[in-house]
Amino acid sequence: MKKLLAITLAAACGSAAAQTPAVNRMPDGSRDLYLGLGAVSAPRYDGAREQRINALPVLQLASSNGIFISGMSAGMHLSAAPSVEYGPLLALQLRRSASGSASGIGGVDSVSFPGIVAQPPLVVARSAKAKQLDGMDPIGARLQAGAFFNLYLTPRLRLTNSVLYGSGNDKKGATWSVAVQRIAAEPALHHAVSVSAGLTVANRAHNDAFFGVAAAAAQRSGYAAYQAAGGIKDVHVGARWNWALAPSWIVTSGLQASRLVGSAKDSPLVQRPANVTVSTALAYRF
């Protein structure tokens, strides 16, 4: 239990952040599996002012062969060196429709949530009750592929990197997420706390898919046409608290503050530059 409570924090990278738990070296043929259920309060979409509360399933699997599943991402640890972690990574980009982004799945040793932003004046007046993405093309769910590379600066301080490609309807979006994580301080018996700070860099295709407004969409939605450029998309800080109620039961809670910057921040779709996402869940270790 203590090994899994050496929790880490994944860098936030929009609606589908890649999560790479610290390698959990176990006897051959063994595995750790956590399943649970909780709730998350998050912005309706990346850039929305309105928060909504959704159910949050929890799934985390770590295997002795290096394969892991954490929330909406999966990968494999390939390194045998204790100070370096690397390997392939897959992550699911969730669908975004007029009602907002779809709900995801959480893990017990990482935190990653959407970021937010500020809204210029609209081209035409809109009803206060109108959905902020009305008239915008839906963005379908996509499986992104990439890799991660993590370096331990000290036994408790980890520099994480993850690169993913394939977001957006044209599947050409790419993101690079980098963060510094302070892993698993234990302020009290059965409690572990981690903190993280980082940023996400996105290419033009990714930012334009989520923050741009094409000419046809501008006609339907009333927003001004807008092309988003590549660059730093957001900066973020986060914390996760795990409370071991019993050898097989854990309460896992996360908080993340995120702020969109640059071209993403200037999009007419966004309403404020910063937001906070909070989650908590009860999970059982099998």
Q: Is the separation of the CB atoms in 56 and 37 below 8 Å?
A: yes
Residue 149 located in a structural domain? yes
Q: What confidence score (pLDDT) does residue 199 get?
A: 98
Distance separating alpha carbons of residues 261 and 151, to the nearest angstrom: 26
Residue 51 located in a structural domain? yes
Q: What average pLDDT is seen over the chain?
A: 85
157-167/274-285 β-pairing:
unpaired
Q: What confidence score (pLDDT) does residue 211 get?
A: 96
Residue 111 located in a structural domain? yes
Cα radius of gyration rounded to whole Å, the chain: 19
Instruction: Give the side-chain half-sphere CA count within 13 A for 39.
Output: 5
Q: Which domain holds residue 258?
A: 31-285
Residue 14 located in a structural domain? no
Q: What confidence score (pLDDT) does residue 5 get?
A: 35
The predicted-structure confidence for 54-81, as pLDDT tens digits, reads as follows 999 999 999 999 999 999 999 999 999 9
Q: Greater confidence, 239 or 109?
A: 239
Residue 35: what residue type?
L
Number of domains in the chain: 1
Distance separating alpha carbons of residues 129 and 3, to the nearest angstrom: 48
Q: Which residues contact 179 (CB under 8 A, 6 or more apart)?
A: 9, 10, 11, 159, 160, 196, 197, 198, 199, 236
Q: Which residues contact 256 (CB under 8 A, 6 or more apart)?
A: 12, 111, 112, 113, 236, 237, 238, 239, 276, 277
Q: What confidence score (pLDDT) does residue 60 get?
A: 95
Terminal CA-CA length for the chain? 11
Helical spans, DSSP H, in the chain: 204-211, 215-221, 262-265
Q: 256 has which bridge partners?
A: 238, 277
Q: What confidence score (pLDDT) does residue 23 get?
A: 75
Residue 141 located in a structural domain? yes
Residue 7 located in a structural domain? no
Distance separating alpha carbons of residues 104 and 177, to the nearest angstrom: 19
Distance separating alpha carbons of residues 45 and 273, to the nearest angstrom: 13
The predicted-structure confidence for 179-225, as pLDDT tens digits, reads as follows 999 988 888 899 999 999 999 999 999 999 999 999 999 999 999 99
Residue 176 located in a structural domain? yes
Residue 6 located in a structural domain? no
Q: Which CATH number is 51's domain given?
A: 2.40.160.40
Q: What confidence score (pLDDT) does residue 102 get?
A: 56
Q: Greater confidence, 139 or 3?
A: 139
pTM for the predicted model, two decimal places: 0.82
